């Protein structure tokens, strides 16, 4: 809000009792400059026009504040913001050149300040990482202007002596209800259960008729106990190193993708080549050591690899993300990019303890992992997707930072292989999937076949 320093000298020296006269009060309000911050507005536009490549996440974070074209004080900024959003909606690149081209096409470039002004906005950005903060400043100023406008409408009507008390009360309720409802960050009241009932019954019918079920993990007994992978939920797959948690997660990811689900596999441990080798081994029944050793592939093996390229990889909706860093915000940004591109049904994070968060130096390791776990849970709800997060087990078989991880998960699966410690075990080649937590059914242990030479787990009936 502007202070008295924004007022002309004549207004500052006016006697105190001038406020008692409505016409003088209204005149003084007109002379005051409405709250605004042009530097923040330029910084928002500059962020949106320069957040490309590795910095693309800042574009999404800025728009996710809810900022709209109508919240800018300068009309030129409103025009520029609309052009940026129109380009983004068409999945076209956004930068000063493309924005200028669109404004030129619309005959609005001069109205927006010219091409040079677009570049000036980009140069005015202190750091694109703060784009969301600049947007919050712009929105806060816009809210203050809206509050002032509503108050002035009420004052003007009250001074006019038009209507009666009911008319005044009605206008007050209308204006101030609207301004409170438009408060940035203020949510509407949640729906009552009666409003939810019809949707609940419709979804219940779909579930009972078999028309709405979770996506398959690739193990039928596991699907039967857990009801599959459902949006808005998190599955934790926990195992010691080398037992097969990545294998199970990748099998589930490929199974879901083959069913038409959009999947992103974020690997912080394995390279893209290693992941491709695992998929090829599992889907082509090619021994892993044939794929990783010189001269290991026969002529028939090569034919299988070529067939997989034509029949599987060319159409499989599975994206592999290898972030430059292990930051949670990078994974979140990539997941949102998938949503904008084709949608996202399954997100796999391999693995949870490798993910980093900002300001981790000032908190304990347990608190950091808890923050990552909570972040992935929130992401599953926000993006309406299912998250599979892998977790390491300690040597004593306990999941690291287990309390926080279990709290956020809907399903926790612990992998145990009898032949890991006892190679001559009568259950060699088998794996136990111990369901330690299950919000959709009972806790249970599901046995499957571990065909590790093919990098896959399958139903016992398939052996």
Give per-residue pLDDT as tens, 162-212. Answer: 877 777 777 777 777 666 666 555 455 677 888 888 888 888 888 787 766
**Residue 178 class from Cβ within 10 Å (0-12 exposed, 13-18 middle, 19+ buried)?**
exposed
Q: Is the pLDDT at 44 greater than 90, yes or no?
A: yes
The answer on 240 and 174 residing in a single domain is no
Answer whether residue 397 shows pLDDT above 70. Answer: no
Residue 358 pLDDT: 64
Q: Which of 1-5, 261-265, 299-303, 399-403 has the lowest mean pLDDT?
A: 1-5
Average pLDDT over residues 287-314: 90
Residues ≥6 apart with Cβ < 8 Å to 322:
266, 267, 271, 272
CA 116, CA 108: separation in Å to the nearest integer? Answer: 14
- Give the pair of three-digit tokens for residue 14: 């006016």
Question: In the prediction, which pLDDT does 9 show?
Answer: 36
**Partners of residue 25 on adjacent β-strands:** none
Residue 265: predicted pLDDT: 94
In this structure, of 27-36, 51-60, 245-254, the range with the lowest mean pLDDT score is 27-36
Give the domain range for residue 80: 34-188
Summarised one tens digit per residue, pLDDT across range 70-92 is 999 999 999 999 999 999 888 78
Terminal-residue alpha carbon distance, the chain: 73
Residue 274 φ then ψ, to 5°: -60, -40
The answer on pLDDT for 112 being more than 60 is yes
For residue 148, CA distances in Å to 69, 89, 137, 165 come to 19, 33, 17, 22
- 319 and 398, same domain (yes or no): yes
Q: Per residue in 409-444, pLDDT tens?
A: 899 999 998 888 787 888 888 899 999 999 988 999
Q: Tell me the CATH number at 299.
A: 3.40.50.300
Q: How many domains does the chain contain in total?
A: 2
| Same domain membership, residue 450 and residue 319 | yes
The pairing of strands 346-350 and 263-267 is: parallel
Q: Residue 96 — very low, low, confident or very high, per pLDDT cuts 50/70/90?
A: very high
Same domain? For 276 and 139 the reply is no
Say if CB 236 and CB 406 are below 8 A apart: yes
Q: Is residue 359 part of a domain?
A: yes
* Domain's final residue, options 188, 203, 236: 188
Q: Are residues 232 and 141 in the same domain?
A: no
SS3 state of residue 455: coil
Please tell me whether residues 332 and 433 are part of one structural domain: yes
pLDDT band at residue 360 using 50, 70 and 90 as cut-offs: low
Residue 243 has what DSSP assignment?
S
| Same domain for 320 and 182 | no
C-alpha to C-alpha distance for 317 and 312, rounded to whole angstroms = 10
Q: Quick one: 48 and 130 in the same domain?
A: yes
> Which CATH number characterizes residue 64's domain?
1.10.860.10
Cβ neighbours for 340, distance < 8 A, ≥ 6 positions apart: 60, 91
| Encoded tokens for 63 | 């728009």
Strands 411-416, 430-438: pairing is: antiparallel
Which of 146, 169, 188 represents a domain boundary (last residue)?
188
φ, ψ of residue 314 in degrees (nearest 5): -65, -30
CB 329 within 8 A of CB 359: no
pLDDT at position 313 over 60:
yes
Any bridge partners for residue 414, and if so which?
A: 238, 434
Q: Counting runs of H as helices and runs of E as strands, what totals does the chain give?
A: 19, 9
Domain membership flag for residue 210 = no
324 belongs to a structural domain: yes
Query: Do 171 and 312 lie in a common domain?
Result: no
Average pLDDT, the chain: 83
Q: Is 117 in the same domain as 226?
A: no
Query: Do residue 311 and residue 181 come from a single domain?
Result: no
Highest mean pLDDT among 3-12, 333-342, 394-403: 333-342
| Confidence grade of residue 374 (pLDDT, cut at 50, 70, 90) | confident
Helix (H, G, I), strand (E, B) or coil at 411: strand
Residue with tokens 């996710």: 64
- Do 107 and 225 have their domain in common? no
| Confidence bin at 100 (pLDDT 50/70/90) | very high
- Note whether residue 17 is domain-resident: no
pTM over 0.85: no
Average pLDDT of 362-384? 83
21 within domain boundaries: no
The pLDDT of residue 348 is above 50: yes
């Amino acid at each position: 809000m502007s202070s008295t320093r924004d007022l002309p000298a004549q207004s500052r020296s006016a006697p105190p009792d001038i406020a008692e006269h409505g016409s003088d009060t209204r005149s003084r309000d007109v002379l005051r400059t409405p709250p605004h911050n042009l530097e923040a507005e330029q910084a928002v536009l500059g962020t949106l026009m320069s957040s490309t490549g590795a910095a693309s996440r800042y574009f999404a974070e800025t728009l996710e504040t809810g900022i709209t074209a109508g919240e800018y004080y300068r009309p030129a900024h409103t025009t520029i913001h609309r052009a940026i959003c129109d380009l983004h909606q068409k999945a076209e690149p956004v930068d000063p050149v493309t924005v200028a081209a669109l404004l030129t096409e619309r005959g609005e470039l001069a109205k927006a300040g010219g091409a040079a002004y677009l570049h000036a906005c980009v140069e005015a950005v202190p750091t694109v990482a703060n784009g969301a903060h600049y947007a919050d400043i712009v929105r806060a100023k816009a809210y203050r202007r809206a509050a002032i406008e509503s108050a002035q409408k009420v004052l003007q009507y009250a001074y006019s002596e038009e209507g009666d008390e009911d008319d005044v009360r009605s206008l007050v309720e209308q204006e101030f209800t609207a301004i409170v409802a438009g408060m940035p960050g203020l949510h509407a009241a949640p729906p009552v259960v009666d409003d939810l009932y019809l949707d609940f019954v419709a979804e219940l019918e779909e579930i009972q008729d078999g028309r709405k079920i979770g996506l398959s993990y690739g193990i039928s007994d596991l699907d039967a106990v857990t009801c599959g992978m459902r949006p808005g939920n998190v599955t934790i797959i926990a195992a010691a190193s080398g037992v097969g948690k990545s294998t199970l997660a990748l099998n589930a990811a490929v199974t879901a993708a083959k069913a038409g689900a959009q999947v992103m596999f974020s690997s912080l441990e394995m390279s893209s080549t290693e992941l491709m080798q695992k998929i090829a081994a599992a889907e082509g029944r090619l021994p892993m050591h044939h794929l990783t050793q010189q001269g290991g592939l026969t002529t028939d093996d090569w034919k299988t690899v070529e067939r997989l390229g034509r029949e599987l990889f060319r159409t499989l909706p599975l994206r592999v993300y290898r972030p430059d860093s292990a930051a949670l915000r990078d994974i979140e940004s990539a997941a949102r990019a998938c949503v904008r591109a084709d949608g996202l049904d399954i997100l796999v994070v391999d693995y949870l303890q490798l993910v980093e968060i900002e300001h981790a130096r000032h908190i304990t390791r347990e608190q950091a992992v808890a923050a990552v776990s909570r972040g992935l849970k929130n992401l599953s709800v926000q993006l309406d997707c299912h998250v599979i997060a892998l977790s390491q087990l300690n040597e004593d078989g306990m999941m690291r930072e287990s309390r926080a991880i279990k709290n956020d998960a809907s399903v926790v699966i612990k992998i145990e292989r009898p032949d890991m410690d006892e190679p001559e075990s009568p259950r060699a080649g088998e794996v136990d999937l111990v369901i330690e937590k299950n919000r959709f059914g009972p806790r249970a242990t599901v046995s499957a076949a571990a065909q590790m030479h093919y990098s896959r787990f399958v139903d016992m009936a398939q052996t």
